[in-house]
Amino acid sequence: MTSSSLPSTSSRKSKPFDAIVRAFGLLYNRLPGSYNGLVGALGYRAPDLVADALADHLSLANPMVLDAGCGTGLTAKAVHARFPGATVDGFDLSEKMLREATKTGFYRTLKPADATQALPFETGGYDAAVSSGLYTLGHVGPEALLPVLDAIKPGGLFALNIYDGAWEKLRFEKAIDQLVADGLITVRAHEQATHFGRIGQTCRVIVLDKTT
Ligand SMILES: C[S@@+](CC[C@H](N)C(=O)[O-])C[C@H]1O[C@@H](n2cnc3c(N)ncnc32)[C@H](O)[C@@H]1O
């Protein structure tokens, strides 16, 4: 895939972060009310990175968008800022997070669902999907790509970020290469970026094109 020119992240530098990332996932799910404050204090940029990546590649004015692992709604907010006419549906494993997301008013529909399983959304029903902060240690790996891709129309896009520590440990590159080899996707864009600005934590920002 297009990642060959990007630096490897198997460096010792990312290792101390991995335990923090896992612990972080456990902590905020118990304290959803404080999630936005917590990630804001760490300079969290993933929702904006993902929404920018989608805006760079999707030319529809009023897209139907699915937000995978929507949390409290930060990604839908970022999508609406770039696509004021968008309709956004979302899902999350956590009912507490969904309650916070409901309060934002950014979603048409919100459902509890597990990204690693078949999703309770129409197959091929969306012009695009977005996901920030879901593909990381302690949450989901590449097994959660296909269920989200299933919800996207052929020719639609999936913009997501993947924590660099998870990129290598959970073998995302191999999984994405396999999806490309199977003719299900092409990789439209792939960049490295800092998604927690205050602690310099990096991720991949990827746009997948669903081909069939
Ligand atoms: C770091 S938060 C990101 C939330 C939001 N997208 C954002 O960027 O602020 C990760 C979210 O993924 C959800 N999550 C974890 N595992 C999941 C799964 N298997 N299926 C759906 N959501 C999941 C968590 O409940 C949490 O809300």
Mutate which of 35, 45, 102, 134 for ligand 1? The one with the most ligand atoms within 8 Å of its CB, which is 134
| Average pLDDT value for the chain | 91
Would you say residue 3 lies in a domain? no
Gyration radius from the chain CA atoms: 16
Residue nearest to atom 8 of ligand 1 (CA): 132
Q: Give residue 197 CA to ligand 1 midpoint distance, Å.
A: 19
Give residue-wise pLDDT tens across range 109-161: 999 999 999 999 999 999 999 999 999 999 999 999 999 999 999 999 999 99
pLDDT per position as a tens digit, 183-193: 999 999 999 99
3-state SS assignment for residue 43? coil
Q: How many domains does the chain have?
A: 1
pLDDT band at 39 (very low <50, low <70, confident <90, very high): very high
Residue 131 Cα: closest atom of ligand 1: 6
pLDDT exceeds cutoff 60 at 4: no
Is 5 part of any domain?
no
Task: Identify each DSSP E strand in the chain by its residue range.
Answer: 64-68, 87-92, 109-112, 126-135, 152-163, 185-196, 201-210
Residue 109 in domain: yes
- Domain hosting 177: range is 11-210
Looking at residue 155, its pLDDT comes to 97
Question: For residues 88 and 76, what is the distance between their CA atoms, to the nearest angstrom?
Answer: 7
> What CATH number has the domain bearing residue 116?
3.40.50.150
Whether the CB-CB separation of 156 and 126 falls below 8 Å is answered with: yes
pTM for this prediction: 0.91
CB 47 less than 6 A from any atom of ligand 1:
yes
Is residue 6 situated within a structural domain? no
How high is the pLDDT of residue 23? 63
